[in-house]
Amino acid sequence: MKIGIVLGTRPEIIKLSPIIRKLEEFKNNDYFIIHTNQHYSKSLDSIFFKELNLPKPRYNLGVGSASHGKQTGKMLEGIERVLIKERPDIVVVQGDTNSTLAGALASSKLGIEVAHVEAGLRSYDRSMPEEINRVLTDHISNYLFAPTEVARENLRREGIEENIFLVGNTIVDATLENIEIAEERKEEIFEEDMLEVVKGGDYFLVTIHRAENTDNRERLKGIVEGILKVGEYYDKTVLFPLHPRTEKKLKEYNLWDTLKNKNIEILEPAGYFKFLILERYAKLILTDSGGVQEEACILKVPCVTLRRSTERPETLEVGGNILVDIEKGDILEAVDIMLKRDRNWRNPFGDGRSGERIARILLEGRNSPLEDKI
Ligand code: UD1
Ligand code: UDP
């Protein structure tokens, strides 16, 4: 069984790592990785290959940043060229980025089966590029690896009945596999001052990068003001590892200087080990990231999601997360609610064996004996 894996961004590298690990373990020597290079900065790309000890991609397409059409078009062209040469039986894509859609579309047009990891997530907000990517990818996929019951039901409601596999989310595997390694290495990962802050656990952690927040000046301004308000009200440090997209937009909108505040500490985008530790010890996480909402829930750290909707409603249902639309909601109230909650919610994303389930189904066929239980 020849498997092609298409990836391009930070979360795809992280969430595909447990599947790649299993393909290696099961001695499938016939798989290969195509990296679109949608992410190319060291802090969003090569650091994760290194930390997660992943094999080098056989193909780097060097696509980089561009408008949606241009970026996706370049990916399609590059992926198609490789697939015609390699002719894999199945192509695996993950999540909801432009790399995901390009991988799925190029494969399906060549008659190659598509396996979508993290199928069935829906925010029901079609203004998000991610929603378009995930809906389209699901509808041309032959294997739909749904992480939760909610995701499986979303697919069924859209008329997809066949080939859905409830497998859990590989983010659980990645978190459990790496958190203890990160813990062991934290003395070498952090500078002394930062290590003290982290160990003290008396800080908020923030990540923001989604287009819906960064590409609208008023929303981004509202988020910056909200974060400042939280830092000031609780008089605590706010650690803010900054995605390059957000840095660019803060500067473009003349909001950069507003972040110069005694409570706010801007950091480079963190490597995975560093970020897991920052999450584990945080008092609370404020984010718009999909993966970070999941990790906060798994690590039992309260989360406030600065968005109008989430495609991870399970995190809200179990009590680990709350949504705040920055234009309407009260960020301080949301933070207060979450800080008062007991951290005894259930992890809704599975048992950490999703990578194994997916690899077995891909290698052993659709009737792999692994239980359909997470
Ligand atoms: C992409 C995904 C988003 C995902 C995120 C993960 C799409 C449409 N969006 O968003 O769903 O949550 O990845 O982090 O696929 N840049 C760099 N270095 C890089 C990559 C990007 O500096 O290595 C900067 C560039 O200025 C670029 C901007 O970030 O224009 C945005 O990059 P892009 O690939 O368009 O999307 P992301 O915001 O990273
Ligand atoms: N992450 C990281 N360093 C950071 C911020 C995030 O390693 O500074 C990791 C995080 O642990 C999670 C993933 O990146 O696994 C989430 O990716 P991102 O927020 O970029 O995208 P999304 O999940 O929203 O698509």
Q: Minimal CA–CA distance to 173: which of 203, 147, 150?
A: 147
Predicted pLDDT at 250: 98
Predicted pLDDT at 368: 67
Mutate which of 10, 13, 39 to test ligand 1's pocket (most atoms within 8 Å of Cβ)? 39
The one catalytic residue among 35, 39, 209, 243: 209
- Long-range contacts, stretch 299-302, CB < 8 angstroms, 24+ apart: 299/175, 299/179, 300/343, 300/344, 300/345, 301/343, 302/338, 302/339, 302/341, 302/343
pLDDT tens sequence across 126-137: 999 999 999 999
Cα of 205 from ligand 2 centre, angstroms: 12
Predicted pLDDT at 29: 79
Mutate which of 7, 9, 16, 268 to test ligand 1's pocket (most atoms within 8 Å of Cβ)? 9
Alpha-carbon torsion angle 298, 95, 170, 151, nearest 10: 70
Cα of 131 from ligand 1 centre, angstroms: 15
Residue nearest to atom 17 of ligand 1 (CA): 244
How are strands ordered across the β-sheet holding 143-146? 59-60, 31-35, 3-7, 90-94, 113-117, 143-146, 164-166
Contact present, 301 and 203 (Cβ < 8 Å): no
Alpha-carbon torsion angle 297, 302, 306, 308, nearest 10: 60
Cα of 64 from ligand 1 centre, angstroms: 9
Predicted pLDDT at 313: 98
Q: Which amino acid is at 83?
A: L
For residue 234 and ligand 2, the question of a CB distance below 6 A is answered with no
CA distance 230 to 335: 8
The helix or strand, by DSSP H or E, that contains position 211, with its residue range, turns out to be helix 211-214
Task: Using DSSP, state whether 239 is helix, strand or coil.
Answer: strand
Predicted pLDDT at 277: 98
Q: Are strands 31-35 and 59-60 parallel, antiparallel or unpaired?
A: parallel
Cα of 17 from ligand 2 centre, angstroms: 14
Predicted pLDDT at 365: 86
- To the query of whether residue 39 is one of the catalytic residues in this protein, the response is no
Predicted pLDDT at 371: 57
Residue nearest to atom 37 of ligand 1 (CA): 245
Task: Using DSSP, state whether 334 is helix, strand or coil.
Answer: helix
Ligand 2 nearest-atom number relative to CA 9: 20
Residues of the chain with pLDDT under 70: 368-374
Predicted pLDDT at 27: 85
Catalogue all structural domains in the chain, each as residue range(s) with its CATH number: 2-169+350-364 (3.40.50.2000), 177-339 (3.40.50.2000)
CA distance 108 to 118: 18
Contact present, 217 and 253 (Cβ < 8 Å): yes
Quick one: tokens of 109?
Answer: 């047009």
